[in-house]
Structure 1
Amino acid sequence: MSDDVQVFPGDPDEWRSVDALPGAGTGLDPTGENPGTVDENPGTLGENPGTLGGEEGEKRRRRTTWILSGLAVVLGTALVAGLMAVQRARSDPDATPAGVATAYFQALADGDAQRALSYSSSTPVTTEFLTDEILRRQTAKTPISEIRVVRESGGTTTSTVRVAVRFGDNDSEVTLRLTRADGSWKLRHSAVEVRGLPGDNAGRVLRLFGKPVTVGTIALFPGYVEFATPNPNFAVSSNEFVKPDWLLPGGVFAGQLRVRVTASPAGADAAEKAIRAAFDRCLQSTDPTPEDCPNRVRQTGAVPGSARWGKVEIPSLSRSYFNRRRGALLFSLGIIEFPVSVSTPAGPTTDVVKRYVVAEVDLFTNPPTVTF
């Protein structure tokens, strides 16, 4: 240790002698006890002109202070803004596209139809089947879980979010498209529009979640779907799942749901019984031209009430065609021979009437009615 540096145990303010410190004797008190003495001899601090001394040094120190202060303000503002953005994203799902996408599926999982619809910028063609009651019936069959954002891309006004979500036992991934309007991100569509449903007579027997389907286009949330009919003469089949990736402009056609209305086995049996009953009625008639029957005599002047019809062979009724528009089964029975005896002005006569017979069975009525 140098001889002019004196170390004193005890008071830290007295840890070295004044004479040993830089600037000693220049008018600057390094202990800070007399700071005003600097102004008495400006410009003499330090013999090296490159050191921060005098007025020039003071200017540089001030400039440095201003720069550091500015950087601190900028960094502080950015930090606060970032924290505010994170907090907003957590509290307000509209703040980010990913937040809206996950909030939409969570609303579906919670059975909250109105909240799910609120995340969309478009209005569904109908909300008849977009209710809490129906949504909860859907989620009871296919509970929604494991909602996860796979990736997100886009700009300041449009974005796409790829979401993985589980519907019951089905794992799905869907790309949702979003737009930004009035400061909020919105899905383009929150419900799947299904077009081209039966709007004819067959559509009258169609029920969706127990409600009649009276229009050709409906809207549904993704998930389980239940088509049925209350008429035992008909059968309804369809896919039981509305895919989330059908959330597209224009929706999908009913063919993608494979909605089909056909005659049920019970309806086919009822139609066969109705045809046989109609033949019995026609053959028991004594009229030469019984109403709504295929058996008619060809002779003119046949005496009313004189016809006696013989037995006929009814062909197999196993082949038929279902007319969806008329809700009817059509049976082509081919040529049938009707033996008959009838009185005419010239006397009694016998004949065999041959007719090509087509039977149409209306399944809407109970029991079904037959037209030849």
Structure 2
Amino acid sequence: MQQYLQALADGDAAKALSFGSSQPASTDLLTNEVLAKQNARMPVTNIRVLDEDTTGESIGISRVHVAVNFGPSVDDSQLSLKKNGDGWKLDNAAIKLSAPLGSDSIKAMQSLTVFGKKLDSGPLYVFPGFVQVGSSNDYLDVTAEPLGLKDLGAYGAYLDAKVKLNDDGRQAVSDQLTDAFANCERSRALDPPGCPTKVSPYDAADAIDGTVTWGKADLSGVKIGDLSPYDMTVYLTGKATMSLSFQTTDGGTKQGTVNAYIGGSADMTTNPPRLKIS
């Protein structure tokens, strides 16, 4: 047990794997390079074998109580060892890591990556400690708790990931909203194509279409909400305000403002986000 943990601390993936009685189906993430990334964030230190239960030694089974630091966190666990022709081994020297429970119905979870590898096509195998998580969607930030020695069990572990809209995603929604109102500003029409607002029917009654001058939209009153991970939607609510002027049928000019009450959403599965504004 001590040699296994020391192999992790030394960044020696092949040696660490040699202490498993069964070998993982994939070693893509069980490399010295990935171990170096894990140790850079949460180094393996202060390895202590605290106790050993040898009552099953006659039938080739033992339990070891061990404590070790992964970065600042102490992992205090009991693990089973079994004896075979090569000596005492762990059941598994790597963790079988599966996608979060329910991820089939949660769109945000279907883009998760672990050390750059997609997790939606089946389990990945990693060593205990720091797990570098991310998303193939540029608009998402992902965080996850590190994996512990208890996760070396036969059933492995499910990634406990939390996903949120990042600053780039929020800016992308804001940019698309600004572009939508720019369709108004470029137009001279009462009801500009692609614009989230228009001159009201009451004011348009004496207006001459094609003579409207739209001012720049004030979007400070529109709130961009948080991400819904289930459908990858961000909701928009609030008020946008635009100044405008137009000629009237009696030869005069009207000036005023238009308040556009925004209720809509942004689909974050596309790049750029696709807005739906009502």
Same fold at TM > 0.5 = yes
Instruction: Tell me, in whole angstroms, the C-alpha distance in 1 between the residues paired with 2:86 and 2:38.
Output: 32
* Aligned counterpart in structure 2 of residue 130 of structure 1, from 21, 26, 30: 30
The verdict on how the C-alpha distance between 1:293 and 1:178 changes in structure 2, with shifts beyond 3 A counting, is farther
Partner letter of residue 276 of structure 2? T
Aligned to 1:139: 39
Q: 1:316 to 1:355 in 2, by over 3 A?
A: closer
Greater relative contact order: 1 or 2 (C-alpha under 8 angstroms, separation 6 or more)? 2
Q: Map of 1:105-184 to 2, 5 A cutoff?
A: 105-124=5-24, 126-153=26-53, 154-155=55-56, 156-182=59-85, 184=87
**Distance of aligned partners of 1:292 and 1:357 in 2 relative to their CA distance in 1, 3 Å threshold:** farther
TM-score (norm 1): 0.54
Q: CA 1:224/1:314 → structure 2, altered by over 3 Å: closer, same or farther?
A: closer
Provide the alpha-carbon RMSD of the alignment: 4.1
Of 166, 171, 177, which aligns to 1:275?
177
Secondary structure of the residue aligned to 1:250 is: coil
Tell me: CA distance 1:307–1:263, structure 2 relative to 1, closer, same or farther (3 Å). Answer: farther
In 1, Cα distance between the equivalents of 2:64 and 2:15?
19
CA distance in 1 between partners of 2:189 and 2:117 (Å): 44
**Amino acid in the other structure paired with 1:110:** D
Indicate the SS of the match to 2:79: strand
Residue of structure 1 in register with 2:275 after alignment = 370
Distance 1:144-1:315 versus aligned 2 partners, 3 A rule: closer
Change (3 A) 1:152 1:281: same
Compared CA separation, residues 137 and 315, structure 1 to 2 (3 A) = closer
Deviation at 1:298, TM superposition (A): 11
Deviation of 1:253 (Å): 2.5
Tell me, yes or no, if the aligned pair for 1:125 and 1:217 is still in contact at 8 Å. no
Say if 1:111 and 1:249 are closer, same or farther in 2 by CA, change over 3 A: same
Is the partner of 1:357 in helix, strand or coil?
A: strand
Equivalent residues of 2:112, 2:135 under 8 A apart: yes
Shift of 1:358: 0.9
The 1:306/1:357 distance shift into structure 2, 3 A limit, reads farther
- Structure 2 counterpart of 1:29: none
Structure 1 residues 284 and 245: CA distance shift in structure 2, 3 A = same
How far does residue 322 in structure 1 lie from its aligned partner after superposition? Answer: 0.8
Which position in structure 2 is the counterpart of 1:252? 157
- Whether the aligned pair in 2 keeps the contact of 1:143 and 1:168 (CA below 8 Å) is yes
Residues 283 and 219 of structure 1: CA distance in aligned 2, closer, same or farther (over 3 Å): same
Which has the larger share of strand? Answer: 2
Deviations 1:223-259 (A, max 9, x none): 22222458764323233x322232223223222xxx2
**Cα offset, 1:188, TM superposition:** 1.6
Distance 1:309 1:362 in 2: 33
Q: Is the Cα contact below 8 Å between 2:164 and 2:226 reproduced in 1?
A: no
Distance 1:291 1:325 in 2: 31
Q: Which amino acid aligns with 1:219?
A: Y
Whether contact under 8 Å (1:336, 1:356) holds in the other structure is no
TM-score norm. by structure 2 comes to: 0.69
Q: Aligned equivalents of 2:158 and 2:268: distance in 1? A: 28
Alignment of 1:318-329 (within 5 A): 318-329=223-234
Alpha-carbon deviation of 1:272? 1.8
Deviations 1:283-330 (A, max 9, x none): 64467876655447999xxxxx86959677757233413133554422
Runs of 5+ in structure 2 lacking a partner? 202-208, 247-257
- The partner residue of 1:235 within 118, 122, 141 is 141
Contact 2:219–2:239, Cα closer than 8 Å, also in 1: no
Q: Is the 8 A contact 1:292 1:371 kept in 2?
A: no
Aligned to 1:185: 88
Call closer, same or farther: CA 1:148–1:116 in 2, change over 3 Å.
Answer: same
Q: Count matched residues.
A: 253
Are 1:236 and 1:261, in contact at CA under 8 Å, matched by a contact in 2? yes
Amino acid at match of 1:245: K
| Structure 1: 5+ residue stretches without partners | 1-100, 300-304, 342-351
**Aligned ranges 1:13-162 → 2 under 5 Å:** 101-124=1-24, 126-153=26-53, 154-155=55-56, 156-162=59-65
